[in-house]
Amino acid sequence: MSAKVKAAVAGANGYAGMTLVNLLARHPHVELRQLTSRSFAGKPFESVFPLLDLKGEFVPDPDPAGIDVVFSCLPHNVGAAKAGGWLDAGARVIDMSADFRLKDPSQYPRWYRQEHPAQALLARAVVGLPELHERELVGAELIAVPGCYSTAAILALAPAVASGLFGSDIIVDAKSGVSGSGRSPSIGVHFSEVNESLGAYAITGHRHLPEMIQELAGIIGGLDSPLTPASRGSSPRSGQPRLQITFVPHLAPMTRGILATCYFDLEGSLVQLQDAYREFYAGQPFTRVIPQSPTTKLASHSNLCLVNVSAQNEKAVVTAALDNLVKGASGQGVECFNIAFGFDRKTALEAPIQWP
195 alpha-carbon distance from chain centroid: 26
Residue 326: phi and psi, rounded to 5, are -110, -90
| Partners of 94 in beta bridges | 71, 143
What whole-number distance in Å separates Cα of residue 88 and Cα of residue 72? 15
- Tell me how far apart the terminal alpha carbons of the chain are, to the nearest angstrom: 32
What whole-number distance in Å separates Cα of residue 83 and Cα of residue 99? 10
Q: Please name the residue ranges forming H helices in the chain.
A: 15-25, 80-88, 107-112, 130-137, 148-163, 191-194, 209-220, 270-280, 296-299, 331-341
DSSP three-state, residue 117: coil
Query: What's the angle, vertex CA 129, arms to CA 124 and CA 132, rounded to 5?
Result: 95
170 alpha-carbon distance from chain centroid: 20
Selecting among 73, 148, 262, 305, the annotated active-site residue is 148
E strands, 210-347, are 245-251, 258-265, 287-289, 305-312, 315-322
The residue type found at 304 is L
What whole-number distance in Å separates Cα of residue 225 and Cα of residue 253? 37
DSSP three-state, residue 202: coil
Give yes or no for a contact between 80 and 100, defined as CB atoms under 8 angstroms apart.
Answer: yes
Contacts of 166 (CB under 8 A, 6+ apart): 157, 160, 240, 241, 264, 265, 266, 267, 316
Active site residue 305: no
Burial of 80 (0-12, 13-18, 19+ CB in 10 A): buried
Give yes or no for a contact between 127 and 146, defined as CB atoms under 8 angstroms apart.
Answer: yes
**What residues act catalytically?**
148
